[in-house]
Amino acid sequence: MAAARKSIHGEWSSRWVFILAATGSAVGLGSIWRFPYVTGENGGGAFVLIYLLCVAAVGLPIMMAETLIGRRGRQSPINSLKTLAKEEGLSSNWQFLGWLGVLAGFIVLSFYSVVAGWAVAYIFYVGGGAFAEASVDMSGAQFDALTGSAWRMLGWHSLFMLTTVVIVARGVKGGLEQAVKWLMPALFVLLVVVVGYAMSIGDVGAAIDYLFTPDFSQVTRSSVLAALGQAFFSLSLGMGAIMIYGSYLPASASIPKTIGLVAICDTLVALLAGLAIFPLVFGFGLEPGSGAGLVFVSLTIAFGHMPGGQVFGALFFALLSVAALTSAISLLEPIAAWLVEAMHWSRRRASSVAGLGAWLLGVGSLLSFNYWSHIKPFGRNFFEWSEFLSTTVMLPVGGLLVATFAGWRMSRASTLDELGLPPGVFYSAWRFLVRIVAPLGVLVILLNSLDVIG
Ligand code: PHE
């Protein structure tokens, strides 16, 4: 069965490398940039609690499902689903679920690289002292100057995408594995340093209170949905990223234990990112609910006024860039692997072509901040359309179909075998979550975000 099939792309050296790689995929702009500001917009503690519940009840079972599909298929998401559908006697149309994931990942990569480019640029801006004694207006102007200049953004976007392509071109063991082995410990050290700095200099009490004292009067239905959506994006679900990483997981590794650890690490990093950001936000009297600009516009003001802010601010953006890079490689890998399988291209060629395509699409996104900002078919610019279609529509649809495939269409025997669990309470709990709870949860986010229910 699974142990008999081998991936032509290689295998991680151990389950620990998979844990590093999958945590690297999960921890990214979503955990460090998005989680704090979404928490801020949704009132803090109670949102955090609901988020944790969503990770456990919806995220975790779907993540296990993706991993088991990947490991059993041992190919790119498209071909893994094709193979498994055939083995289970199902329609070959299931391969379109693989297509959906790969396409969604391609679109996410295109704009992800643009935003990651901002993080890279900010290492130099903050480190170079651009925010020393900055006022709110100055900080906003700095951000507008970057997004207003298509050329500057093009430079950072190209640099980021090129780095991603180089890593993926070097293969599973020589590229991805090496990258995560160096970058993940670096990420951890940077995180600890930045959290330590924020706690020693900011208002820790207020931050802890804000993050961990739930105030349920702040909870609305939209915050529940935001928590579910955030859990999904943060765990890298619905895009084939975890599926392809699962296809390189050694057969002997226990999926539930491994994935449990990945979800715990991702959640810890998101909480630590909160502990890096909110002490500064409160210590400096900033507004926690200021939205997507929280990190780039608000936090930089704090760095500009605090002792050592120039150095630690630069380290913070280095952290964000590294986190984004280990996520970006997991978005490029499924496409590159498929091109290698289907076209028999070399890895180098496959990753260059896929990276070039995503780069080109990303140019559309970066132009939406300047030259194309007035082009808004149906109320959204190119960047907003890319984000909406991939993360709001394709990602939950993908997750729903993954849950359906693993929970309802694959046989009980296959999933039992692949998860490596004894028949019993744990397996039954997983099956219940993946068949009932996760699909219902995802369906609700989807219908709500498409304004079918509002
Ligand atoms: N999980 C990543 C983040 O938090 C984003 C991502 C989504 C990466 C889907 C890969 C696949 O930034």
**Percentage of the chain surpassing pLDDT 70?**
98
Reported as half-sphere exposure (CB side, CA atoms, 13 A), residue 176 has a value of 34
Q: What is the pLDDT of residue 3?
A: 52
Place of tokens 């991805």: 176
Cα(326)–Cα(167) distance, integer angstroms: 10
CA of 21 to the centre of ligand 1 (A): 12
In single-letter form, the type of residue at position 39 comes to T
Which pLDDT tens digit goes with each residue over 203-261? 999 999 989 988 888 888 778 878 888 888 999 998 899 999 999 999 999 999 999 99
Q: Sign of the CA dihedral 382, 388, 394, 399? A: positive
For 47-92, give the DSSP string. Answer: HHHHHHHHIIIIIHHHHHHHHHHHHHH-S-HHHHHHHHHHHTT--G
In single-letter form, the type of residue at position 425 comes to V
Burial 14-27 (b: 16+ CB within 10 A, else e): ebebbbbbbbbbbb
- CA distances to 219, 269, 278, 433, 442 from 48, in Å: 11, 13, 13, 21, 19
Mean pLDDT throughout 162-191?
Answer: 91
CA of 323 to the centre of ligand 1 (A): 10
Q: Kindly report the protein residue whose alpha carbon is nearest to atom 7 of ligand 1.
A: 236
| pTM score of the predicted model | 0.92
Across the chain, what does the average pLDDT equal? Answer: 90
First to last CA, the chain: 45
Ligand 1 binding pocket, CB closer than 6 Å:
25-26, 28-31, 108, 233-234, 236, 239, 241, 327, 330-331
CA of 436 to the centre of ligand 1 (A): 24
Which pLDDT tens digit goes with each residue over 340-384? 999 999 999 999 999 999 999 999 999 999 999 888 888 888 998
Which pLDDT tens digit goes with each residue over 294-345? 888 888 888 888 888 899 899 999 999 999 999 999 999 999 999 999 999 9
User: How many CB atoms sit inside 10 A of residue 218's CB?
Assistant: 13
- CA distances to 18, 76, 159, 176, 258 from 181, in Å: 10, 23, 21, 8, 17
Cα(446)–Cα(454) distance, integer angstroms: 11
User: How many CB atoms sit inside 10 A of residue 282's CB?
Assistant: 19
Look up residue 271 and give its two tokens.
């909480």
In single-letter form, the type of residue at position 232 comes to F
Instruction: Tell me which residue of 193, 113, 184 sits closest to 153, measured CA to CA.
Output: 113
Atom number of ligand 1 nearest to Cα 330? 10
Judged against a pLDDT cut of 50, whether residue 1 lies above it is answered with no
Atom number of ligand 1 nearest to Cα 324? 12
Mutate to test the pocket of ligand 1, among 109, 234, 333, 394 (most ligand atoms within 8 A of CB): 234
Look up residue 406 and give its two tokens.
């693993």
Per-residue pLDDT band for 452 (boundaries 50, 70, 90) equals: low
In single-letter form, the type of residue at position 106 comes to F
Range in 3-7, 12-16, 260-264 the model is least confident about: 3-7
Q: Kindly report the protein residue whose alpha carbon is nearest to atom 10 of ligand 1.
A: 236
